[in-house]
Amino acid sequence: MIDKMRVMIYVDDINLNRDFWQTNFNAEITDVLDLPGGYTGITLSLNRDIELGIFPRDFVKEYSPEVADNVPSLMLFTDNFKQIRSRLDNPGEIMVQAGLISCNFADPDGNYFVLAKKQAK
């Protein structure tokens, strides 16, 4: 059984991205990692089961270049769709399809993700 999931995101500015996730999604810092080469990584908790690991892209290019340009495709489900969407800068248009209400949004590095809510029946 899997107990927790951590998605790793590689960014140009970890502090700017940390602030983005804290401000818009109430993410909490659970760990600050001292990495080789003087780099720092940050682990944020979105809830008790889901974490984001934010790593400097330059660190990843140096130590694991084969994944440096990978961006996960995340769809974040919430019952607080309208509230969270209102905090985002320039969220995408609201779409209603396949039983979901959703919009896309970008992090400070321009990585796009989806905010979604199951549509009431």
Q: Where are the domains of the chain?
A: 5-67, 75-118
Rounded CA-CA distance 49/5 in Å is: 6
Indicate if the pLDDT at residue 84 is higher than 80.
Answer: yes
- 120 band by pLDDT with thresholds 50, 70 and 90: confident
pLDDT digits (tens, 9 = 90+) for 2-25: 999 999 999 999 999 999 999 999
Check residue 12 and report its DSSP letter. Answer: S
Q: Which residues neighbour 55 within 8 Å (Cβ) at sequence distance 6 or greater?
A: 8, 9, 10, 11, 14, 35, 39, 41
H-helix or E-strand spanning residue 65: none
Q: How many CB atoms lie within 10 A of CB 60?
A: 21
- Please tell me the CATH code under which domain 5-67 is placed: 3.10.180.10
